[in-house]
A and B are shown apart, each in its own frame.
Chain A
Amino acid sequence: MARTRYAPDRGLTVRMTATMFLLGLVFVAFVVVIIGIMSAIGASVGAIVFIAILLGGGLAFTSLFYSDKIALSTAGARIVTPQQAPELHGIVDRLCALADMDKPTVAIAPTNLPNAFATGRNSKHSVLCVTQGLMDRLDSAELEGVLAHEMSHVAHKDVQVMTYASLLAIIAGLLVRFAFYGELFGGGRGRSNNNGNAALIFLAMMVVSAVVYAISFLLIRLLSRYRELAADRSGALLTGQPSVLKSALIKVSGAMSQIPTQDLRSAEPLNAFFFAPALNLRSPKASLSKAFSTHPSLEKRIEQLDKIQRQLGQVSPE
């Protein structure tokens, strides 16, 4: 009875673990350095760090708690009932029964940009949103593939994971700003009091925070790309149709790069939860934009789906 065609992808797990380990390492190093600075100068820096943590934590917690409402209003989406969108609800109902999941709230955003996102702090408070453009462009099997991808994000609790992962970057970002103002005002006052140390300390804190911010930003983007691959994988295994997901990806990516920029900017804040990024990544600086991208390249995603296709087609499972 241990036969399965659904063995986990070890390589992906290892890469994701390494990324999260590095993120944790940066966090620990950051804490050590800040404590070092604090013990050198005393309470005034401590207070700033404390405020940054409180503010950053509060910010992250609020955005996590209200993620469904924030995302819906940002996208201008409206919640639809089964009577208003019977086909969409039918697909979601069946996927939920197949995956044994709670049914998310279903919403439609009236934009022509073909995309979808899922958000919410847990499966009970999750929202699944597709754009009108997506429904117009994809047939129902492809739409199902996209929805299975989004529901995998919900099952993997990606909103929570990414919020916790971003916490460090948020705090570091706040500290850069605080230290900058500290340098401007506090440092200036310090000099007049014959205390050059404070300016130096604020400068050190700003540099350290900026470095931490940059590193954690890259790691978060890397983690986001791995989470996308994981959602592709789970989605394709759920429907058993990796090739349909491939064709949906190609259609959506092709259409995404033809959309005028004005639409793109309004959709950009939601990028991390989208099915495909709302940016054209085929720029000359491909390697740089790859490192900053929230989504893996189309080639990578399709390559993975090819692998799943072979895995599902084995005559005798492992």
Chain B
Amino acid sequence: MGFLDTLFGRTKPVQPKLDDLFALPSAALTLEAGTGFTPTGSGSVSFRAVEGKTFADITKDVRELLDMSAGEPGGGLPVEVTKDTFGYTWVVSSHMSDDVQGLVTDLHAVNTALVDNGFGPQLLCTLVAFRDSSERRLALVYLYKRGTFYPFAPLPGEKRDNALELEVRGALGDDLKIEQDLTRWFPVWGAPGL
């Protein structure tokens, strides 16, 4: 925030950074080589819906757009749209587990639709899910406003596997922009697509 913004008490809504999301497919390979975690093929985009018909129409359009490619070669399952307890909307896309590229393309379509309609500041995060052979769960969360990733490893009973998260940070440090400020690694308990 600039001096004038402080003086006049206004905040410029933060526009999302979208480009770094495309580093995910190659990072998924590094993650598998380093820690044994493989993508489950599902991922989700989370945003804060704006009240009113305009925004609802845009959400509907995105959904139809994504469902058009569903079932085709390279496409995934029809998308799921859910609302979490905090009031955020999640668009969940599911692909074959080796198709991270297709998944990221789907997630990016949601981003583009919101940004093109002037709702870019409403984007919260994107999440791509991973599993290892002993069924431990892991998500890489992308923060739109920072353009950074962080790992989130939920354990039963709303606990986090911090050791695993830090291990993943070490493994991916060269491939992804990892969020350096640990206070921003906020938990997404029960996030759809995880």
- Give A residues with C-beta under 8 Å from B: 3-6, 8-9, 12-13, 16-17, 20, 82, 86, 90-91, 93-94, 96-100, 102-103, 140-141, 144, 152, 155-158, 160-161, 226-227, 230-231, 233-234, 237-244, 309, 312-315, 317
A308 to B123, CA, bound (A): 19
A91 to B85, CA, bound (A): 10
Of A4, A96, A102, A309, the residue contacting B51 (CB under 8 A) is A309
**Would you call A98 and B9 a contact (CB within 8 A)?**
no
**Would you call B9 and A226 a contact (CB within 8 A)?**
yes
Sort A-B residue pairs by CB-CB distance and give the 8 closest, nearest first. A230-B9, A240-B50, A93-B186, A317-B118, A100-B145, A313-B52, A156-B9, A234-B11
Main secondary structure of the interface of A (DSSP, over half): helix
Q: Given A4-B118, A144-B86, A312-B52, check contact A155 B8 (CB 8 Å).
A: no
Q: List 23 A-B contacts (CB under 8 A).
A: A3-B116, A5-B119, A97-B124, A97-B125, A98-B145, A100-B14, A100-B146, A103-B184, A140-B87, A144-B86, A156-B6, A156-B11, A161-B6, A161-B7, A161-B9, A233-B10, A234-B9, A237-B121, A238-B121, A240-B48, A243-B51, A312-B50, A313-B53
A12 to B143, CA, bound (A): 32
A233 to B13, CA, bound (A): 11
**Would you call A6 and B54 a contact (CB within 8 A)?**
no
A77 to B: closest C-beta gap in Å: 20
Chain B residues near A96 (CB-CB < 8 A): 184, 186
**Would you call A158 and B145 a contact (CB within 8 A)?**
no
Of B11, B14, B146, B183, the residue contacting A103 (CB under 8 A) is B183
B148 to A: closest C-beta gap in Å: 11
Main secondary structure of the interface of B (DSSP, over half): loop
Chain A residues near B125 (CB-CB < 8 A): 97
Of A16, A91, A238, the residue contacting B8 (CB under 8 A) is A16
Question: Within 8 Å of chain A (Cβ to Cβ): is B60?
Answer: no
**Would you call A313 and B54 a contact (CB within 8 A)?**
yes
Closest to B116 in A: A3
Chain B residues near A309 (CB-CB < 8 A): 51-52
**Would you call B86 and A97 a contact (CB within 8 A)?**
no
Of A90, A227, A244, the residue contacting B9 (CB under 8 A) is A227
Closest to A100 in B: B145
Question: Within 8 Å of chain A (Cβ to Cβ): is B1?
Answer: yes
Closest to A9 in B: B10
Using a CB-CB cutoff of 8 Å, which residues 1-47 of chain B contact chain A?
1, 5-14
B2 to A: closest C-beta gap in Å: 11
**Would you call A94 and B124 a contact (CB within 8 A)?**
yes
A109 to B143, CA, bound (A): 31
Q: Given A5-B118, A97-B184, A317-B117, check contact A240 B9 (CB 8 Å).
A: no
